[in-house]
Amino acid sequence: MSTTLENIQRQISENPILIYMKGTPQLPQCGFSAQTVQALMACGERFAFVNILDNPDIRTELPKYANWPTFPQLWVEGELVGGCDIVGEMHQNGELETLIKAAAARAKEQEEQGGNA
């Protein structure tokens, strides 16, 4: 059985765009998660999410792993982008969409290359 830390590392490595949030994209359970997921959805790309309210072990361990105390947390291609304030600011100045679209394009390219092997 894998540890919580191994699960977190696997989730981050397997999902090019991943948000750890309270609730789900359709039903966020906090204002910060709602704002962050709205900015992410505005980019128009698919993303994965983990509801930390359903995963108390991840809720406890991820802040230590990420060295980031709060939620939501947006991870893109294995790197922590940040939380609500950072994501909101990036959305306002157009950086978020650029980052998300580039990550989605690379993921799609890798998927296609993997599918042809």
Burial of 114 (0-12, 13-18, 19+ CB in 10 A): exposed
The annotation status of 32 as a binding-site residue, yes or no, is no
The annotation status of 71 as a binding-site residue, yes or no, is yes
Q: Alpha-carbon distance 1 to 23, whole Å?
A: 26
The annotation status of 46 as a binding-site residue, yes or no, is no
The annotation status of 59 as a binding-site residue, yes or no, is yes
The annotation status of 22 as a binding-site residue, yes or no, is yes
The annotation status of 108 as a binding-site residue, yes or no, is no
Q: Alpha-carbon distance 103 to 85, whole Å?
A: 21
- Mark the binding-site residues for glutathione, compressed into ranges: 22, 59, 71, 84-85
- Mark the binding-site residues for [2Fe-2S] cluster, compressed into ranges: 30
- Mark the binding-site residues, compressed into ranges: 22, 30, 59, 71, 84-85
